[in-house]
Amino acid sequence: MGQAAEVSSCSGFSCPCSIQVFHCLKHKGTGGRTLLVDGFYAAEQVLQCAPDQFELLTKVPVKHEYVENVGDCHNHMIGIGPVLNVYPWNNELYLIRYNNYDRAVINMVPYDAVHRWYAAHCTLTTELRRPENELWVKLKPGKILLRMEAVNTKVPFASS
């Protein structure tokens, strides 16, 4: 199995959710683990080690799109905003839009900033993927996971 890919859910929403509840009703197979990463801690590490890159990730808007065409369900959601969202009055981080799967073509980044933006994104990605920042959990029936602005991924369930 390949490396898990960290994402923040609902990046394509104009206002991504900050609290999610996960639960498992029934499972008798393998898989189904969830990886949680403290994106706020990772962003803080970028701020400490590369403040210019942190600032770039808070200033440059990026377009995220989510397209779903399953049966009669057709959704196309678009969200635009920087990867790291901070309050303008105190520079406090309040939202992370990190999802390489729904990030659209990067055409909102000024041409002269494209290389610097990718370098900053790579720095954040490196922080998010540090094993010491990972918390793996597997939901079992009767257990609930409350996720508040963590970056997460799921390993698919396999039935038996």
Residues with Cβ within 8 Å of 140's Cβ and at least 6 positions away in sequence, in order, are 24, 27
pTM: 0.74
- Euclidean distance between CA atoms 95 and 91, whole angstroms: 12
Within 10 Å of residue 57's Cβ, how many Cβ atoms? Answer: 26
Task: Give the position of tokens 């508040």.
Answer: 148
Q: What pLDDT score does 16 carry?
A: 54
Residue segments in the chain with a per-residue pLDDT below the cut of 50:
1-7, 9-12, 14, 150-160
Q: What pLDDT score does 141 carry?
A: 82
Q: What pLDDT score does 25 carry?
A: 81
